[in-house]
Amino acid sequence: MYNGIGIGSARGSGTNGYVVANKFAHRRRAGRGGVDGRYRSDGGEGLVRAQRGGGARAPNADILRHDRKRQVELKLLKLTDELEEKGLPDDEIERRVDEERKRLYAALEREEEAERERAEAAKAAAAAREQEKATALEAGAGGGEDGAGPALASAAPRARSPRRGGRGDVRHTGAGAGTHGTAARKRAELDRFRGALRMRDDIKEGEAFDRELQARKKAERREAAQARERERAREAREKERAARRQKRERERSASPRRKGSREGRERERSPRDGAAKSDRSRSRSR
C-alpha cells in the first residue's frame, strides 16, 4: 500500500501490491461522437480509418492503366523474340508487331469502356433502388418491424460483376501486381458485397455511430416528408378548384337554355291570362 492506495498485503493477489495503472479509466477522446479527430474524414461526414492505420484506399487509375500497357508491351516483346527466332525479315516482324499492338490496344480500350459502363450501370441501379425505396416509403407500402409488407426489390437491372479470372477481372488485364492492383481487387470485392447487401454507394464507414449526423439526417427526412405532404395537399386543392371551375362552366353553359324555356312558358301563359281577365271584366259589367 502506498499513500493509502493499494492492498494491505500482496499475498494471494498475484500482484506486487502497488497500483500500476487503471485499465478501466478511459479518457474521452476529442471529436464529435467521442472519436479522435485524426480518424475523421476531411469533410467531417462519417468516420474513416487513419491513412497509416490501414483501410482500403482507392486505386490510382493512371497507374493501373500504365500496368496494363506494360503487359501489352511485354506481349509484343515476346512476339518479337519469337518472330526473330523464326528468321523472319525485320520489315515483316515490324508489320506483325504493329498489327498485334493495334489489336491489343483496341481490346484494352474496349475493356476500359466496358468497366466504365459497368460502373455507370451500378450507380444507376443504386439510384433506382433508392428512388423505389423512397416511393414505397412515401406510399406507406414499406414493411414494418415484423417483416410485413412487400419487399423493396428493385426492378432495375443490376450490373453484372466480372467473374474471377474472366475478361472483366482486374487480374486478367495484368494489373494484379503491386499495391494498386490489390486495391482494385479489394474495391471490386467490396462493390460486390455492397451490391449483395443493397447498400448505397454514398455510405461512409462509421456514420451509424455519429449521433449528430444521424439526427441531422432524420430531421432532413422529416422535412422532406412534410414537403411532400404539403405538395400533395396543394395538388389536391388545385384539383378541387379545377373541378369546381368546370362545374360552374357547365352550369353557365346550360343557363341560356333554361332562360329560353322560361320565356316560352311565360309567353304561353300570357294569352291565357288575358282571356281570363276579359271574362272577369264582362261578368262584372253584367
Give tens-digit pLDDT for 177-228.
Answer: 567 777 778 878 888 887 788 777 777 777 778 888 888 889 998 999 999 9
At 231 the pLDDT is: 93
Work out the angle at residue 188's Cα, subtended by the Cα atoms of residues 182 and 192, and round it to the nearest 5 degrees: 145
Average pLDDT over residues 256-266: 60
Percentage of the chain modeled with pLDDT above 70: 58
Q: How confident is the model at residue 165 (pLDDT cuts 50, 70, 90)?
A: very low
At 274 the pLDDT is: 63
Helix axes 90-139, 61-85, angle to 10 degrees: 150
* 210 CB burial (10 A radius; 0-12, 13-18, 19+): buried
Length of the chain: 286
At 223 the pLDDT is: 92
Percentage of the chain modeled with pLDDT above 90: 14
The SS3 call for residue 128 is: helix
Give yes or no for residue 57 having a pLDDT over 90: no
Average pLDDT in the chain: 71
CB 100 within 8 A of CB 76: yes
pTM (whole model) above 0.75: no
Give yes or no for residue 153 having a pLDDT over 90: no
Contacts (Cβ under 8 Å, ≥6 apart) of 61: none
Give yes or no for residue 164 having a pLDDT over 50: no
203 DSSP 8-state letter:
-
Report the alpha-carbon distance of residue 246 to residue 252 in Å, rounded: 10
Name the grid cell of 208. 451509424
Give yes or no for residue 279 having a pLDDT over 90: no
Name the grid cell of 188. 471490386
Give yes or no for residue 4 having a pLDDT over 70: no
Q: How many CA atoms lie within 13 A of 222 on its CB side?
A: 6
**Tens digits of residue pLDDT in 80-136:** 999 899 888 889 999 999 999 999 999 988 888 888 888 788 778 777 777 777 777
Report the alpha-carbon distance of residue 79 to residue 30 in Å, rounded: 61
Specify the long-range contacts of residues 123-131, CB closer than 8 Å, at least 24 apart.
123/201, 124/156, 125/154, 125/156, 125/157, 125/158, 125/159, 126/200, 126/201, 128/154, 128/155, 128/156, 129/154, 129/156, 129/198, 130/200
Report the alpha-carbon distance of residue 96 to residue 89 in Å, rounded: 11
CB 111 within 8 A of CB 152: no
Residue type, 9: S
